[in-house]
């Protein structure tokens, strides 16, 4: 099934169609992740994952320590939330998240000590059930940006015939280098996790996938793939052409196995689990220490940032404070994004907390922030060529304008993952992703009727 290339390094079984070539801007690749000074205050939202929000389990005035549970829920799709600094809870109330949605949040005033919670101890993991329970308790969500609770992803029923674990180190978004840093700095964690996951969850194959613009990371990942523990040679490194969106989940599954995830289905439906490399490394650290997900690495970059850096920050740290740590702005920022420039979210100000799944803060000066003016569609078809999902964005726009739900369904709008390749490629400067979202909303409305 998996084709071995030169020196046991895999090439994509089936290449990703479409996509776009974007400038990499991996300016921070060689910058080690540095810890920011303990923030004076963190605001920790109860919704930092796909699924149900948590309910705060602490109240104003409580003393908390790093790693202490502060939010949890009985709902199935969710992930618990932990205190990221030690100190006193000063507020439990609503805050606006970067995407504009309101969420309950716990504000903790830090005592500056970063004292670990007494209850922290390495989990005892003997069975698969123990392992899933431990992953849930760690509060881990997909660190690549989507924020899907990892314990749900890994808790697949045995009859799904899951045989392949794909570890995503593609990091195809421009600017972001934290996954690369994870490979360079925490390779032992990745190594240990790979073999734990394989053993406990019973994967037949593990494919570690990276883009060909990270030769240094290859050497390290290759060592992991070639490690002596890999007795049956089932762990392989796969090198992919640098092309956006190679790192998208469905694209990863196709590259690694040649299988295509049908519309509305998950990688698990074709026997695969895809995990971000930072999530993988975190699992090893958690199993060793029992310290839940309370901090994460971020790339801070962009033309308006004075000193671009890779930083490790407590979850809930104020974005403005992080930018100040990176020297503040060297020019007036005109756009600030959380996440990468292709799929990231433009935010309305810097007074917002960092979430578990944020992997970058990018600030751009006016020249890079103002998009070119929109002109008429000339039907050049570049959007359709760029679409990795074989959609016809230009036709979807037409159908959406006509509010034609039947056509939208036929055009397959639901498989659109909003990667932004179409809008990137459009010479007419059409905000195509916005149109795609509108089209999905029309379909949802139709479904609600």
Partner 1 sequence: MVDGKKLVVSASPHLRTKDTTRGIMLDVIIALIPALIAAVILFGPRVLAVTATTVATAVLSEFLARKVMKRHNTIGDLSAVVTGLILAFNLPVSIPLWMAAIGSFFAIVVVKQMFGGIGQNFANPAIVARIVLLLSFGQAMGNWTAPLSWKTDAVSTATPLAIIGGESTEALPSLLDMFLGVRGGCLGETCSVALIIGGIYLMARKVISYKIPVAFIGTVAVIMLIAGKFDLEFVAYELMGGGLLLGAFFMATDYSTSPIKSNAKIVFGIGCGLLTCVIRLFASLPEGVSFAILIMNLLVPHIEKIMAPKPFGTVKEKKTKAGEAK
We find the least distance from the C-beta atom of residue 192 to partner 1, in angstroms, to be 34
Q: Cα–Cα distance between 269 and 299 in angstroms, integer?
A: 33
- Asked if 208 touches partner 1 (CB under 8 A), the answer is no
**Within positions 106 to 135, which residues make up the interface with partner 1, using CB under 8 A?**
none
- Asked if 350 touches partner 1 (CB under 8 A), the answer is yes
Q: Is 336 helix (H, G, I), strand (E, B) or coil?
A: strand
We find the least distance from the C-beta atom of residue 53 to partner 1, in angstroms, to be 24
Q: Cα–Cα distance between 83 and 167 in angstroms, integer?
A: 28
We find the least distance from the C-beta atom of residue 269 to partner 1, in angstroms, to be 10
Q: Which is nearer to partner 1, 93 or 263 (CB)?
A: 263
Site string for partner 1, 228-257 (x = CB under 8 A): ----------------------x-------
Q: Are 330 and 304 in contact (CB under 8 A)?
A: yes
Extract the tokens encoding 320. 């403005």
**Which of these ranges, 40-48, 68-76, 214-222, 336-344, lies near partner 1 under the rule CB under 8 A?**
336-344
Out of 10, 22, 85, 208, point to the residue binding partner 1 (CB under 8 A).
22
Q: Are 376 and 432 in contact (CB under 8 A)?
A: no
Radius of gyration of the chain (CA): 22
Furthest-apart CA pair in the chain: how many Å?
64
Cis, peptide link before residue 245, omega less than 30° from 0: yes
Q: Which is nearer to partner 1, 36 or 137 (CB)?
A: 36
Out of 72, 299, 420, 442, point to the residue binding partner 1 (CB under 8 A).
420
**Which of these ranges, 67-75, 143-151, 188-196, 404-412, lies near partner 1 under the rule CB under 8 A?**
404-412
- Asked if 433 touches partner 1 (CB under 8 A), the answer is yes
**Residue 440 DSSP code:** H
CA-wise closest residue to 96 among 387, 347, 303: 347
Q: Cα–Cα distance between 357 and 182 in angstroms, integer?
A: 15
**Within positions 356 to 375, which residues make up the interface with partner 1, using CB under 8 A?**
362, 364, 369-372, 375
Phi, psi dihedral angles at 49 (to 5 degrees): -160, 165
Phi, psi dihedral angles at 402 (to 5 degrees): -85, 0
We find the least distance from the C-beta atom of residue 293 to partner 1, in angstroms, to be 25
We find the least distance from the C-beta atom of residue 169 to partner 1, in angstroms, to be 22
- Asked if 39 touches partner 1 (CB under 8 A), the answer is no
Q: Are 236 and 225 in contact (CB under 8 A)?
A: yes
Q: Which is nearer to partner 1, 156 or 424 (CB)?
A: 424
CA-wise closest residue to 234 among 158, 156, 164, 155: 164
**Residue 304 DSSP code:** T
Q: Which is nearer to partner 1, 230 or 418 (CB)?
A: 418
Q: Name the residues that contact partner 1, by CB under 8 A.
A: 20, 22-23, 174, 250, 260-263, 265, 320, 329, 332-337, 341-351, 362, 364, 369-372, 375-382, 384, 388-392, 394, 410-412, 415, 418, 420-421, 423-429, 431, 433-434, 437
């Amino acid at each position: 099934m998996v084709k071995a290339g030169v020196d046991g390094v895999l090439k994509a079984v089936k290449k990703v169609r479409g996509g776009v070539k974007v400038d990499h801007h991996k300016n921070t690749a060689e910058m080690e992740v540095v810890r920011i000074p303990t923030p004076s205050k963190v605001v920790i939202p109860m919704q930092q994952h796909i699924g149900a929000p948590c309910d705060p389990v602490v109240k104003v005035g409580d003393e908390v320590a790093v790693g202490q549970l502060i939010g949890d829920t009985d709902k199935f799709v969710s992930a618990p939330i932990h205190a990221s600094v030690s100190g006193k809870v000063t507020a439990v109330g609503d805050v606006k998240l970067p995407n504009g949605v309101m969420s309950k949040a716990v504000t903790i005033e830090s005592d500056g000590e970063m004292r670990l919670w007494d209850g922290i101890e390495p989990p005892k993991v003997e069975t698969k059930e123990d392992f899933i329970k431990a992953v849930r308790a760690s509060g881990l969500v997909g660190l690549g940006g989507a924020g899907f609770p990892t314990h749900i992803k890994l808790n697949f029923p045995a009859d799904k015939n899951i045989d392949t674990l794909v570890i995503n180190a593609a990091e195809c978004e421009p600017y972001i280098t934290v996954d690369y840093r994870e490979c360079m700095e925490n390779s032992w964690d990745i190594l240990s996790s790979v073999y734990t996951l394989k053993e406990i969850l019973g994967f037949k194959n593990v494919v570690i996938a990276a883009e060909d613009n990270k030769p240094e990371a290859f050497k390290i990942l290759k060592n992991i793939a070639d490690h002596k523990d890999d007795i049956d040679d089932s762990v392989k490194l796969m090198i992919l052409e640098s092309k956006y969106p190679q790192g998208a989940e469905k694209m990863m599954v196709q590259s690694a196995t040649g299988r295509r995830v049908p519309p509305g289905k998950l990688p698990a439906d074709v026997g695969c689990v895809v995990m971000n490399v930072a999530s993988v490394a975190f699992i090893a650290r958690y199993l060793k220490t029992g310290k839940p997900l309370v901090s994460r690495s971020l790339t801070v970059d962009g033309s308006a940032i004075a000193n671009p850096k890779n930083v490790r920050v407590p979850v809930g740290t104020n974005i403005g404070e992080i930018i100040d740590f990176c020297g503040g702005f060297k020019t007036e920022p005109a756009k600030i994004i959380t996440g990468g420039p292709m799929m990231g979210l433009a935010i309305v100000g810097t007074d917002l907390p960092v979430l578990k799944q944020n992997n970058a803060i990018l600030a751009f000066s006016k020249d890079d922030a103002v998009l070119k003016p929109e002109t008429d569609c000339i039907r050049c078809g570049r959007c359709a060529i760029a679409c990795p999902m074989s959609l016809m964005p230009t036709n979807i726009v037409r159908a959406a304008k006509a509010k034609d739900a039947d056509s939208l369904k036929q055009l397959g709008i639901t498989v659109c993952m909003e990667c932004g390749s179409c809008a990137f490629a459009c010479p007419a400067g059409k905000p195509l992703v916005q149109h795609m979202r509108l089209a999905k909303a029309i379909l949802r409305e139709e479904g609600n009727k």
